[in-house]
Amino acid sequence: MRCKERQRADTGWPAGISWGLVLLALLSAALAGEPAESTGPEPLEQALAAVQDCMTRSPAPWPDAWQREYLDTVRKALGSDPNLPGYRAKIEVFRRGFTRYWAQGQGSRLTQLEYDLRKAEIHWYCETLMSQELASASDGAVLKGQLRDLCDYAAQYLKGRFPFLTPEYVDEAKKVAVAEFDEEVDSPLLPIFRRPLSDAQVRAVKANWGRLYRRWHFIWREVRYEGPWQGDLPDPRDPPSHPHYLFVKRCLLYLPRTIWPTVEKPPEYLVYVIRKLDAEKAERGRVNRQGMEAERELAMRSSNQVEQVEEWSFVFTALLETANAGNGQGRSLANSPKGGDAYDLNEQP
């Protein structure tokens, strides 16, 4: 008893109250130790806010109904179960990757089918991102090395096809392309930047690159004849303004298009929209061709009508002159001398 009384005297508090304070302190610490994001927006809401911001800040925003439908598609494809493995990391990958994806241009003045294609694409990207395991850092490093090697191959190919290209500008453009592909691998929204390529895929990519040689010639004509240096030599101290640099960079940015055919087949809902869009474009081309043919036919018909009018005018004039000459009322232009007053309407005595 004396020991217990001495303990109460030392602390100055009854033993029960002191333990109550300890429990209260522990409870407060536990509450304070909850994740900080519980007081802020959830990762999904942050990602959706980034999507809305991109759509709103576009130079030519989509209609409000399209924006709501697109946002709802993203929300459903990403899901809202934070207990899924790697959920927060995947949402962050989407948020960073979507900003780059949207900046590459989603188009304005779209038809309904073109918009449906954009919506189906983002649905596929989100769906596969959430269903697949994120690649490890070592896999990302391997893919970066493969893309770097493919850029080297593509640049060497261009130098072989266009031997006049300045090597310094080719190397500078290649560095920029490699840096952009590295960023894509770091935030792999697109499926082609998520896993290392197999040897068979690398060979297929190189073959696909070689089949686009006509595209490279078309790009060169675009760069050469549409550039700001028309009539002037480009400044050699400013590589980004040089046609050789612009040409190589634009070509290398086609590299992902040579990878797409080597990845898994897209889902049926995306293939369905692509087929409908191809049919729409084919129909549009057919209508345009018919319109051009109709214009040519109308022009030919008008030309024939003009010729017929001129012919009949000549015939009527000749008949009138012949009749007048027979009546002694005037002379025929056919017998008039050329030059002088041959076409003078005033008769000379």
pLDDT tens by residue, 78-109:
987 888 889 999 999 999 999 999 988 777 78
Question: Could you report the per-residue pLDDT of 125-183, keeping only the tens digit for each?
Answer: 999 999 999 999 999 999 999 999 999 999 999 999 999 999 999 999 999 999 999 99
Which residues have CB under 8 Å from 78's CB, separation 6+?
Answer: 44, 47, 91, 94, 126, 130
* 0.75 exceeded by pTM: no
CA-CA distance, 296 to 103, in Å (whole number)?
Answer: 42
- What's the mean per-residue pLDDT of the chain? 78
- Please compute the mean of the pLDDT values over residues 193-213 and round it to a whole number: 94
Confidence of residue 311 (pLDDT cuts 50, 70, 90): low
**Identity of the residue numbered 150:** L
pLDDT 10s digits, 276-288:
988 988 888 888 8
Contact call for residues 140 and 186 (beta carbons, < 8 A): yes
Beta-carbon neighbour count of residue 45 at 10 Å? 13
